[in-house]
Amino acid sequence: MSKPTDLVQGTLDLLILKTIAIKPLHGWGIAQRIRQVSKEVLQVNQGALYPALHRLEQSAWIRAKWGESDNNRRAKFYSLTPAGRKYLEQEQANWQRLSAAIGLVLETS
């Protein structure tokens, strides 16, 4: 079982941004979604998730808004800001470039 914090630094940020790009989610929802989409490979550690969310919010990539969760409980929903959306595109491109490059090296040698 691999945790995102064990991955390349900054990957958790990328995962969070990508996950809330579709629709606003609360912290729990983000963790669940990353786990489902990655087919249970990526387990987001809550101890890392919340500090990351607060950092991203402080950097104005994402913004938080209190809303109602599925069963009428108050929860903090995170969504992308326009700047965050651009940042995500850029980071995603970087990531793809990087993983493609690593792939090339692994295939040839």
**From 8, 36, 37, 54, residue interacting with other proteins (rule: CB under 8 A):** 54
Tokens 């940020």 belong to 13
Identify which range of 3-11, 34-42, 62-70, 96-104 contacts other proteins by CB under 8 A: 62-70
Q: How far is the CB of 89 from other proteins (least distance, A)?
A: 15
Identify which range of 4-12, 13-21, 56-64, 95-103 contacts other proteins by CB under 8 A: 56-64
**8-state DSSP, 42:** B
E strands along 1-109, which residues?
25-26, 62-68, 74-80
Q: How far is the CB of 80 from other proteins (least distance, A)?
A: 11
**From 10, 47, 67, 103, residue interacting with other proteins (rule: CB under 8 A):** 47
Instruction: Give which of 20, 35, 32 is closest to 65, Cα–Cα.
Output: 20
Rg (CA), the chain: 15
On whether the CB atoms of residues 30 and 12 are closer than 8 A, the answer is no
Does 83 sit near other proteins (CB under 8 A)? yes
